[in-house]
Amino acid sequence: MNLTFRQLKVFEVVARRLNFTSAAKELHLSQPAVSMQIKQLEEQANTPLIEKLGKKLYLTEVGNEMYNYARSTMQQLLDLEETISQMKSLHKGHLKLAVASTANHFVIRMLARFARVYPKISISLDVTNRSTLLELLEKNECDLVVMGRPPEGHNLTARPFLENPLVVVAHPKHYLVREKQVSLKELAREEFVIREQGSGTRSAVERFFNEHNLKFKTKMDMSNNRAIKHAAEEGLGLAIVSLHTLEIELRAKTLNIINVEGFPIYRHWYVVQREGKRLSPIAKVFKDYIMQEADGLIKDFNLPIGE
């Protein structure tokens, strides 16, 4: 049955009022126009929907069913209008965010503050590695991604919003912790626990060592930032990680930052989306929020560099 929304709306009003004249007034249509819409709908249904007995209109059995569906449809459309209105006014909405595991800690802190400003929104957060983040963007399965600089050629729009300092950390009893400053040659003699090949951190570290004509010794590579920090805490090697992931360990004094020549290595965090993607109102607001507020939030961590 190829009915139109206009026909269904006209029928809902006529069925509710059971009077063509009052229905026409409510719809701001002429009575013949209303009668024509009902006739066309009955032709589509191939059965009578309204019958006239004496001076009164009555719904047929099929008409009653049609009325129930029409009322349900009209209510759903009203609900949709209300939902859209609330989303535009940011009283409601769903944010789909994916972040690199190395950004997890500070992004959750930003989300907590954001949610206090917009308490009625809901949030989906996917914490994963770089390759999966790129896959999520490719499949359009998230609104925004927070990660290191994305590679070229993926049809992405990326904006830097925060410096991401990479620092060298070790168990507090490691002999280099006591040094006022460690040269790069000294550092190159050590073994490291580090992120897997292809990760943003690994690429930045390898590029840094190559630029200084030094070899980088890998004892163990891992895809999980927490595991890397834990390995460094257990003395399995030095680690190079984002300063923004170290708040808990530095306060607990389970890891120390080593003051190394040329460090921190400064990268950036980026907020990334598919090129041409039309963001929802809440996603737009969140993107603006992190562009404006991220730097102040990180300063609240009060993390030391080189101490």
- Yes or no: say if 166 and 194 are a contact pair by the CB < 8 Å rule: no
Indicate the residue type of 292: Q
pLDDT at 64: 92
Look up residue 66 and give its two tokens: 């049609």
* pLDDT at position 134: 92
What is the chain's pLDDT, residue by residue, as a tens digit (307 residues)?
Answer: 678 888 889 999 999 999 999 999 999 999 999 999 999 999 988 999 999 888 899 999 999 999 998 888 888 887 777 666 656 666 667 889 999 888 888 888 889 989 888 888 889 999 988 889 999 999 888 999 999 888 888 889 999 998 889 999 999 999 999 999 999 999 999 999 998 887 888 888 999 999 999 998 899 988 888 899 999 999 999 999 999 888 889 989 999 999 999 999 998 999 999 998 888 888 888 999 998 887 776 665 555 544 4
Nearest to 263 by CA among 232, 241, 234, 294: 241
Q: Given CA atoms 144, 148, 153, 154 in this order, what sign does their dihedral have?
A: negative
pLDDT in the model for residue 29? 92
Q: Are 195 and 228 in contact (CB under 8 A)?
A: yes
Tokens of 202: 């690994």
pLDDT value, residue 306: 42
Please report, for residues 21, 29, 74, 106, 125, the alpha-carbon distance to residue 15 in angstroms, rounded to integers and kept in the order given: 12, 16, 13, 57, 47
> What's the pLDDT score for residue 65?
92
Question: Which parts of 52-171 fold into alpha helices (H)?
Answer: 61-88, 104-117, 130-138
Whole-angstrom distance, CA of residue 148 vs CA of residue 136: 15
Both tokens of residue 108? 């959750």
Angle in degrees, CA 192, 198, 200, rounded to 5: 75
All domains of the chain in start order, with CATH: 5-88 (1.10.10.10), 94-162+268-299 (3.40.190.10), 165-267 (3.40.190.10)
Query: In angstroms, rounded to a whole number, what is the distance separating the alpha carbons of residues 51 and 58?
Result: 5
For 176, 183, 266, the CA distances from 217, given in Å and listed in that order, are: 16, 16, 21
Q: What are the angstrom distances between the C-alpha of 18 and each of 22, 25, 64, 142, 299?
A: 8, 13, 12, 48, 67
Structure tokens of 184? Answer: 């790069």
pTM: 0.64
